[in-house]
Structure 1
């Protein structure tokens, strides 16, 4: 569900709908390869990640190589969790005055829509942790049988 919650907005952003966009949607790239990768490809990657996550807990996933599936899932888990925590560390450093936004990003960081970043990066942390637990359970369940 988390993968679909992440994928859906990427698809509607790609379609030109700015709802829940973490920043100024009007100044974001549209109609470029950056938009195609940022919206459509990332949405497709999220859907594929959802399928991989389901493979960890559904019976049809038993047909896939356990160690490969778990290694990919644990790697993705660490990456997503660190990506989310890094955002919160940066927000702390900005709030504490330890770092300053680059001029190119100052307007984006001050935009009211930037608050959506708290939601999206929380989702990265949550999804990363859930994926790691699912992969670990799949890996350890085979050891006990």
Structure 2
């Protein structure tokens, strides 16, 4: 509420208490209209600017999300691959142990079968000593 050009009264707290020229009164609405249209234009550019910023923030957020998801997937794949390799090594180790156990079993089984066969042969030989054969009887009875 200061003294504007063409105003005859000093600066007062209430602008209706001072008198201005008619020329200035008529000019004020035009300036106000111009300011309103300038404000509307700047509001439009502000809206465009805000929309641009919002779009940039959105695309930045989406990019960070994609990067985060890519890192997660990459890490998960690496962990799964590592886990798969470890399980594969463990599986091969277990299979090797099972094969070694089976080989020991087959070897031990064959050795036991050989002992059993030898015992059967001893038994048959001993039985042959105690059994009287018909050819031996005939000789004894003559």
Check whether TM > 0.5: no
Structure number with higher helix proportion: 2
TM-score range, shorter chain: under 0.3
TM-score (norm 2): 0.25
Instruction: Please identify the structure whose Cα radius of gyration is greater.
Output: 2
**TM-score, length-normalised on structure 1?**
0.25
